[in-house]
Structure 1
Amino acid sequence: MKTKYLIPLAAVATAALLPSVGVAQEAGVEAAAHTSYILTTLLFLVGGFLVFWMAAGFAMLEAGLVRSKNVTMQLTKNISLFAIAAIMYWFVGFGIMYPADWLIEGWLGPFFAITTLEPVGLDPADAALDYASAGSDFFFQLMFCATTASIVSGTLAERIKLWPFLTFVVVLTGFIYPIEASWQWGGGWLSEAGFSDFAGSTLVHAAGGFAALAGAIVLGPRLGKYGKDGKINPMPGSNLALATLGTFILWLGWFGFNGGSQLAMGTVGDVADVSRIFANTNMAAAAGALAALILTQVVYGKTDLTMVLNGALAGLVSITAEPLTPELWQALIIGAIGGVIVVFTVPMLDRMKIDDVVGAIPVHLIAGLWGTFIVPWTNDGAGFLTQIMGMAAIGSFVFVSSLIVFYVLKATIGLRASEEDEINGLDVSELGMEAYPEFAKG
């Protein structure tokens, strides 16, 4: 065939193929979007149920670190606070935290913007797919809200009454936490200012610690904890095996806490980042535990298991503000300093006569602030002054609002168990059941 006939034929063939190439490209883009949507939704769901498992970790840790006469109360509080958080975050919290329209721009989202889900059997042709399903996003974020309340439970153990505590949880999970979290994660003023807190060292952990500190101040210490001569009387927990199990459960759940906060798994880069977050999270926990292990031996002449457990948790809290950008050696240092913080802060609180039964204030508040402050060391998108401003804003808001709520509860329905009930244990006096009845009667 002559060349003069080949050129027109090629042109005709190309023109015929171009629409199909365009259709194939569009189909490829659509398939990639669907894959990204599916994988990110899966990340939220898997991360969410790992963080849910942390609720069991808190319950076991607290059950092991309180005295046997208060174990049932701690277990009751932990399952109840999660149930309250689930409902309050749906009813009011999620809408405040992620506002479609602000009541006060950058500061306060709308009340009672109740969360809705996609229809059953969602057809992608019928909806513009967002980055993940609404159900998975809500489910994942709810777990962080519940974690904040769990932190408060352990600090106030053995002397706070059940219903006043649960009333506080209603306010914390429905209003206090969502408001301060919206300032950063909801696109509020802290986000605009450049504050950085990847997974919540301050937004979740220090916030829970500030609420716990307010409650501890209003409640006062347990009977007999501090003598008139300044002596500090140890009150050992009932079951260190449970406390250790709780720590391992929390350690496991933290991979969902930090890894899920990548908020995307639709690309090779996202998946690589999630794996990097896992590795840094694990390194910080190990370093925190080892730092507490060695330091208690050096300072006290004997290793203290409870310090080692809290050292691991402090390492986890410390890396939570920025688990992505550090190298492994930097994650080791950040976590190790968290472990050191615990060893020195626990006795400091006792000297101040602030009775924190499980050590939640050193672990979540102090280590949380440390982790948030050090973010600019590895993330050049953050600044130290901005980090301090964010920590101060969140801390002051949560502490003052919690203090007000606790004082109102104290003045109205009462906050603290009676002296007789505290001596007998809250299991019997408040609940009428014991965690270890055969030992009590033996």
Structure 2
Amino acid sequence: MEELTKLGSTVTELRFALDTFYFLVSGALVMWMAAGFAMLEAGLVRSKNTTEILTKNVILYSIACVMYLLVGYNIMYVDNAEGGWLPSLGMLIGSQSADASHALEADFFFQVVFVATAMSIVSGAVAERMKLWAFLFFSVVMTGIIYPVEGYWTWGQGFITKLGFVDFAGSGIVHMTGATAAIVGVLLLGPRKGKYGPNGQVNPIPGSNLPMATLGMFILWMGWFGFNGGSQLMLSDAANASSVAKVFVNTNTAAACGAISALIVCKMIWGKADLTMVLNGILAGLVAITADPLSPSLLMAGVIGLVAGAVVIFSIVGLDRIKIDDPVGAISVHGVAGFLGLMCVPLSNSDATISAQLIGAAVIFTWVFCSSFIVWYVIKMTMGIRVTEEEEYNGMDSSDCGIDAYPEFVTVKSAS
């Protein structure tokens, strides 16, 4: 009997170790998405803004880690009443007991990379004309307060979850949140100089490095397996292992179908294969399936990807027509496709309802929009959020960083 008890204890410890290891590896994959966002955004902005956009992505990740450690994680998860509206501040992670600390540290690492992902979405949308320090100040509030509060309402077992809202890995909680904060910043910033003509025409501003943007997309595609797969939380029994496998396959299928859908729509509209739209179609498929990559059949996952890949193109074109300037298409990819993903959940998940999904999306949007507007507006009225016209013309690398990303290609005027 004693031997059986020891054997059972050993098996339990092995399962705990396996699940924890899987959790941490998934977190590392999601952390690698920071590199994907950095490469994607750097490739889709002009060369004179490359160093600045890379700097933003490095520092926002660091700010997210610190703010979520000091404030955000406690707001979102620690000592909060289930079904509540107001989160408590809880205790810092380091004040927990030894056993609780080990469990919290693994969970914290997995959750903090999601916070950084939400903030990375904002980075691309406000690129090429926002002051670096204004963006970083907003990052502090976004990662420390804005995201954790709506995160408590949803994943932290707050009132939205009790209404029946379902968001498996964050189509709304992460992606729509980042897009909502981004659209507020874009509205207050205004478009880049020269983006729109006096007669309503849209002037394309091509990115500087499509190979880099493509690399960024593939990094994001790879990291998404940790994003969605890790959200299953466990791997150590047959049922969970099978679920993780299904999540992986559905995630991959939605992305692939998003690419094909975007390609076909581009061919039908413009007669060309627009690489930037194909990249966004892939990401839209990934964002849409994130709401529930477990319940749909393989065919349904493909359909979700097909729809998202097409919708994102019309969204990008539509935002341009109303003069909302988003250099990388982040608002459409993460906001529109994120909402689409939430609305698709009831099609395959009997635990979800259209009404609960709509209420959850509306609450998230309202909270993030209003709180972001207040923060952006305060920053605008104090230090300002937009660089001068001269700084924008010369490039953010020169004004904010003093380093050119591609110094060998800088044109040197002759002294004669």
Q: TM-score, with normalisation over the residues of structure 2?
A: 0.96
Asked whether the equivalents of residues 74 and 89 of structure 2 are also in contact (C-alpha less than 8 Å), the reply is yes
Asked whether the equivalents of residues 210 and 365 of structure 1 are also in contact (C-alpha less than 8 Å), the reply is yes
For 1:228 and 1:359, locate their aligned partners in 2 and report how far apart those are by CA, in whole Å: 23
Q: Determine if the alignment matches structure 1 residue 40 to structure 2 residue 19.
A: yes
Deviations 1:369-413 (Å, cap 9, x if unpaired)? Answer: 000111011111111110000000001100111111111100001
Asked whether the equivalents of residues 107 and 179 of structure 1 are also in contact (C-alpha less than 8 Å), the reply is no
Q: What runs of 5+ residues in structure 1 fail to find an aligned partner?
A: 1-20
Aligned CA distance change for structure 1 residues 105 and 322 (closer, same or farther; 3 Å)? closer
**Equivalent residue in structure 2 for 1:111, among 89, 98, 102:** 89
Q: What SS does the corresponding residue of 2:154 show, helix, strand or coil?
A: coil
Q: Determine if the alignment matches structure 1 residue 318 to structure 2 residue 288.
A: yes
For 1:86 and 1:108, locate their aligned partners in 2 and report how far apart those are by CA, in whole Å: 23
For 2:104 and 2:314, locate their aligned partners in 1 and report how far apart those are by CA, in whole Å: 43
4+ long deviations beyond 3 Å:
none
Q: Determine if the alignment matches structure 1 residue 148 to structure 2 residue 121.
A: no
Q: Determine if the alignment matches structure 1 residue 173 to structure 2 residue 146.
A: no
Deviations 1:202-229 (Å, cap 9, x if unpaired)? Answer: 0000000000001000101001111111
Give the length in aligned residue pairs. 412
**Equivalent residue in structure 1 for 2:41, among 44, 53, 62:** 62
Letter in 2 for 1:399: F
RMSD value, Cα: 1.6
Indicate the residue corresponding to 1:301 in structure 2: 271
Letter in 1 for 2:253: M
For 1:29 and 1:94, locate their aligned partners in 2 and report how far apart those are by CA, in whole Å: 33
- The Cα of 1:118 is off from its aligned counterpart by 7.8
For 1:114 and 1:58, locate their aligned partners in 2 and report how far apart those are by CA, in whole Å: 30
Q: Determine if the alignment matches structure 1 residue 212 to structure 2 residue 190.
A: no
Asked whether the equivalents of residues 117 and 135 of structure 1 are also in contact (C-alpha less than 8 Å), the reply is no
For 1:27-426, list aligned pairs within 5 A: 27-102=6-81, 106-111=84-89, 113-116=91-94, 127=99, 133-426=103-396
Deviations 1:226-265 (Å, cap 9, x if unpaired)? Answer: 1111011100000000000000000000000000000112
- The Cα of 1:107 is off from its aligned counterpart by 2.0
Larger Rg: 1
The 10-residue stretch of structure 1 (247-256 or 186-195) with the greater mean CA deviation from structure 2: 186-195
- The Cα of 1:37 is off from its aligned counterpart by 1.2
Q: Identity over the aligned pairs, expressed in percent?
A: 52
For 1:169 and 1:29, locate their aligned partners in 2 and report how far apart those are by CA, in whole Å: 46
For 2:190 and 2:12, locate their aligned partners in 1 and report how far apart those are by CA, in whole Å: 55
Q: What SS does the corresponding residue of 1:374 show, helix, strand or coil?
A: helix
Indicate the residue corresponding to 2:406 in structure 1: 436
Q: TM-score, with normalisation over the residues of structure 1?
A: 0.91
